[in-house]
Amino acid sequence: MNRHQRRRAGKMGQHNDFYNQYVRHLPRVAIDAPLERGRVYHTVVQHDDWCAFYDDKVCNCNPIISRHVEPTRE
Ligand SMILES: [Zn+2]
């Protein structure tokens, strides 16, 4: 792999690790549901592997968007 390819793979890996190891285990909420004050949400945008987003450019795919919510701490 050249420098560009390594950088691209690194960027993809970081995003995927955070999603796979953490965010995807949180409860999922509808993307158009109103947000509740005081809660922490993760909005996940899943790009296709070939998307220009991973080259630090504007997204040119049709990403899958989902939202997850952190549990409340009481
Ligand atoms: Zn994209």
Cβ atoms of 43 and 28 within 8 Å: the answer is: no
Q: Note the pLDDT tens digit of each residue in 43-58.
A: 999 899 999 998 999 9
pLDDT of residue 70: 96
Cβ atoms of 53 and 47 within 8 Å: the answer is: yes
pLDDT of residue 73: 77
If you measure from the C-alpha of residue 72 to the centroid of ligand 1, how many angstroms do you get, rounded to a whole number? 31
Q: What is the pTM of this model?
A: 0.73
If you measure from the C-alpha of residue 53 to the centroid of ligand 1, how many angstroms do you get, rounded to a whole number? 5
13-22 CB burial, b ≥16 within 10 A, e <16:
eebeeebeee
If you measure from the C-alpha of residue 62 to the centroid of ligand 1, how many angstroms do you get, rounded to a whole number? 6
pLDDT of residue 11: 81
